[in-house]
Amino acid sequence: DVAERRLYTTVRFGASKTVRLRDDNGNISERSDEQICRLFLETAQNNTRIASLVREIHTSNSRVHAKMYEVQFRIIGICKNVERLHVNAFGCKGHLLDALKAVLSNVEGLTILELSCKPERLGMQPAKKSDLLFISDVMALLPNWPRITAIYGSLGNEHDYYDRPTNVPSALGACP
C-alpha cells in the first residue's frame, strides 16, 4: 500500500522517452510516451483508488499531438485529488484550449498551478486569438480553486499582443 501510494503520488507524461518493460517471463518490450499515457488513462479509469492517489501531475507534449493532449486532459479530469498541476501545453490551440479550461475548472483541490500555453508559430504568421489562453481565462477559474496558493504561467505569445478585458472582480476572495 505504501509503495503503491509513493508510485502514483506524482505522475509525468509526454517526456518523449521510450520505456522498456520486462514481463514475468523476462521478455522486454518498449512503450512510447503516448502508449504509457494511454495505459495510465485506462488504469485510472478502471481503478478509482489508483486515480485517487495522484497528487501531482506533470504533462508535456513535445510533438504537439492533439490526441496526446486529449488523453492527458482526461487523466487530469479523472484524478480528483490533484493538488499540484504542471501543464506544458505548447502548441495547444482552439478546441483543445477549451478542453483544458473545462478540465481545470473541475480540479477543486488545486494548490499550485504551473501553466505554459504558447501557440506554435509557423514562420511569421501571427497567432489567432482562439489559439491563445489569456490571463482573464485563468482568473475566471480562481473561484474553483479555494486552496490555491500559487499560479505560475507563461501564456500567449510575446510577438502577438491581444488586449482582452480581465475580469478580476469575479476572482476576488477566491484565495485565502
pLDDT along the chain (176 residues), means of 10: 82 76 84 85 94 92 78 93 88 78 90 81 61 77 88 68 44 49
Residue 166 near residue 136, CB atoms below 8 Å = yes
Q: What sign has the CA pseudo-torsion 36, 40, 42, 43?
A: positive
The pLDDT of residue 111 is: 92
Q: Locate cell 513535445: which residue?
A: 62
C-alpha cell, 163? 488586449
Q: CB under 8 Å to 2, separation ≥6 — which residues?
A: none
The pLDDT of residue 52 is: 93
The pLDDT of residue 44 is: 94
Backbone angles phi, psi at 120, to 5 degrees: -80, 125
Backbone angles phi, psi at 33, to 5 degrees: -60, -35
The pLDDT of residue 67 is: 86
The pLDDT of residue 126 is: 61
CA nearest to 101, candidates 133, 78, 143: 133
- Identify any residues that bridge with 115 across adjacent strands, giving them in sequence order: 87, 153
Q: How many CA atoms lie within 13 A of 7 on its CB side?
A: 8
Residue 83 near residue 114, CB atoms below 8 Å = no
